[in-house]
Amino acid sequence: MNIVDLHVHSNKSDGSLTPAQLVDYAVEKGLSAFALTDHDTTDGIDEALEAAKEKNIQVIPGIEFSSEYEGQDIHIVGLYIDYKSDFFKRRLINFVNGRTIRNKEMCRRLTAHGIPVTYEELTAEFPGCVITRSHYAKFLQSHGYTKSMKEAFDRYIGDRCPCFVPRKKITPMRAVEIILKAGGFPVLAHPLLYHMGADRLERLVSILKDMGLQGLEAIYCTYTPSDERQMRALAAKYDLCISGGSDFHGSAKPGLDLATGYGKLFIPEEVLDKINQRREWMKQHPEQLKHTKILFTDLDGTLLNSQKTISDYTREVLRQWCQAGHKLVLCSGRAIDSVQDVKESLHLDFSGMYLIGYNGGQIYDDDRKETLYKTALSLEQTNHIMQEAAKAGVHVHTYSDTHIVTSREDEELTFYRRAIFSPVIVCENVMDVLKEGPCKCLAVEIKDPERLERFRLSLLPWAEKEGISMIYSNPYYLEFFPAVSGKGAAVKILCQLLNINPYFSVAAGDAQNDISMIEAAGMGIAMANGSEDIKMAATTITAFDNDHDGLAHALIDLI
């Protein structure tokens, strides 16, 4: 009986054999096929395919994506990917950029801890490799900084060590989506290695199945017969194909061999035959793999360019997004009427649009012209903010349903209204105008940011007691709104109202008040022009800024 191995690594990631050497070894081991699934790279596939010519073996182009779910590392294997497609190349560039940022920071931290190493030195020592922590450990050992790779992990680069920098990873749901869009076959790798417990693991498998997962690695080098039976039963419950692999790394994992694992692994070719049968079904039923997504996008600094408008290209991408049946949500700290003004000025006359104002305080269905959700500060809380602002000499204004309401007309208000055209009510006592608590208050200081920060700090104990968030939307604006509000809360609420799985949500932003939205969405996009903290929170950073269609270029691959 022919045998296969659908999970194999070369030295293009963290294995020890070259792709060509792997082919020769696979032939020697009697394999009829193997999948080259290096970590987050396809650099070895061409070499393997070339080496397999004239030899009686099939090389399956693959990859193993590193992803993160509930703080845990989850791996998704992609088989039969179109690794030369423009879409897939763009996705890998994004992965490489994320790794590079992380690796440079780890080099900086090692240097600060008395181990001088630059990123350039590291890549020169391991040419053509995707740099992982194993490479750092080898570098530290070979240069005499540690006596072993284990010591390197224990002292410097382990998860809780001083030089470790976590790399922002995509979710496993997004990994499945990328593999499907690249024509591949997504498989959950070695599920029992995550030690999640049966219930959590099944919940993850259920979610991934909804996203389009097609296979589960039920045959694996470390599994006992009982483990394999358990994984086969889980795969059957969710109608997933069985996959199997040794996770061969060469000398990097001593005692673990290609095809046979630790001695008892056996993956019959019929496993691959059934995968190919499912692949044929997928080609004939593409509609089964499509899902409605929802995009939450900030306005200033994200969707809008410096001229407070959008290009024809961005408008066309948004049109394609909505035409494909996806939802578009404009999110802002502005009042809803101001968000409507922006929508109309941009000529975004698409159906199925929603507006979020006041940093999540109000959710509005633009088709039905009705509010779906609203939360607000109390009148007492608003009055306290206004009184304290007057004492501190800081401009603060708030909002009624139709107007900006302020106690004074000053240069801060003029500055704010450069792009905000809502009418204004000026009243010495703002509370005389308000009939109900507003969704938010906004403090503006254009000359002395330190005064604004002193004001924030003076209110901090009170705000924590009252359950009020104080967040900078830019260096000049300090937002006040209920802690139960926020853009992140609005993402969850609207997804629930529309019955859309939050993992199908995408959020894009550039500033601190966008972080909760970025973290709540299934995929978070930080603008290249965004703050460093939002880039750390996001799973993707745009290649271009908001003046060069950064969001549109990131969005086109998600349609």
DSSP secondary structure string, 505-521? Answer: EEEEE-SGGGHHHHHHS
Residue 168: per-residue pLDDT: 65
DSSP H or E stretch at residue 397: strand 395-399
Q: What is each CA distance from 497 to 200, 226, 329, 370, 373, in whole angstroms?
A: 25, 42, 13, 14, 10
Residue 388 Cα distances to 264, 315, 399, 450, 506, angstroms? 73, 43, 18, 16, 38
Average pLDDT, the chain: 93
Contact between 299 and 342 under an 8 Å Cβ cutoff? The reply is yes
Low-confidence ranges of the chain (pLDDT < 70): 96-98, 166-168
Q: What's the confidence (pLDDT) of residue 167?
A: 65
Alpha-carbon gap, residue 229 to 57, rounded angstroms: 29
Residues 62, 79: contact at Cβ < 8 Å? yes
pLDDT in the model for residue 296: 98
Sheet with 505-509, side-by-side order of all strands: 370-374, 362-365, 353-357, 327-331, 294-298, 505-509, 523-526, 540-541
Please report, as a single letter, which amino acid is at residue 285.
Answer: H
CA distance 208 to 202: 10
Of 77, 153, 145, 74, which is closest to residue 111 (Cα–Cα)? 145
Give pLDDT tens digits for 290-321. 889 999 999 999 999 999 999 999 999 999 99
pLDDT at 358: 92
- Reading the block at residue 157, the tokens are 């680069």
Structure-token match 């002292």, residue found = 155
pLDDT tens column, 312-345? 999 999 999 999 999 999 999 888 999 999 999 9
The whole-number pLDDT of residue 158 equals: 86
Q: Taking each helix axis from N to C terminus, what angle separates 45-52 and 19-28, rounded to the nearest 10 degrees? A: 40
**Continuous H helices in 348-406:** 379-392
Choose among 149, 309, 278: nearest CA to 214: 278
How much is the pLDDT for 419? 80
Three-state DSSP at 120 gives: helix
For the segment 180-235, what is each residue's pLDDT rounded down to a tens digit? 999 999 999 999 999 999 999 999 999 999 999 999 999 999 999 999 999 999 99
Q: Are 216 and 176 in contact (CB under 8 A)?
A: no
**60 closest CA partner among 256, 267, 350:** 267
Return the H-helix or E-strand segment holding 450: helix 449-466
Structure token pair of residue 278: 């499912």
In the numeric block, the tokens 């995009």 are attached to 295
Determine if the pTM surpasses 0.95: no
Structural domains of the chain in order of their starting residue, each with its CATH number: 3-91+169-288 (3.20.20.140), 102-157 (no CATH), 294-375+485-558 (3.40.50.1000), 379-482 (3.30.1240.10)
Alpha helices in 196-254 (DSSP H): 198-211, 225-237
Q: What does the pLDDT read at residue 203?
A: 95
Which one, of 355, 327, 343, 366, lies nearest residue 439 by Cα? 355
How confident is the model at residue 535, as a pLDDT? 82
